[in-house]
Amino acid sequence: MIKILAACGAGVNSSHQIKDAIETEFKNRGYNVKADAVMVKDITEDMVTHYDIFTPIAKTDLGFTLEIPVIDAGPILYRIPAMAQPVYDKIEAIIKEKGLK
């Protein structure tokens, strides 16, 4: 299973929209993806070690260096395929590059 961490300021709305969109898109692409939505302030170094990809709503300084790929998922929220598609494609490229299943 591919684990993705989605995050926004409040951890209530945008991150859940990103989570749902990623899970739906990658199910349609044939991947076994599980995404979690959290509040940026709650992210710890230990938490991130349990994920393969980090998809925040915008560039985020967590105060530590991430060892997993980071993809700005904000464009997913516009619900315009031309904007969301490149985000999904970047996620898929990382999945393929890392050999995740």
Question: In angstroms, rounded to a whole number, what is the distance separating the alpha carbons of residues 77 and 15?
Answer: 9
Residue type, 49: T
- With vertex at residue 85, the alpha carbon angle to CA 42 and CA 90, rounded to the nearest 5 degrees, is 60
pLDDT tens digits for range 1-20: 999 999 998 766 899 999 99
Percent of the chain at pLDDT above 90? 84
Kind of pairing between the strands at 33-39 and 2-8: parallel
pLDDT at site 59: 86
Q: Where are the alpha helices (DSSP H) in the chain?
A: 14-28, 45-48, 81-98
Domain tally for the chain? 1
Domain extent, residue 47, equals 2-98
pLDDT at site 11: 64
Question: In angstroms, rounded to a whole number, what is the distance separating the alpha carbons of residues 95 and 80?
Answer: 23
Task: pLDDT band for 79, please (50, 70, 90 cuts).
Answer: confident
| CATH code of 38's domain | 3.40.50.2300
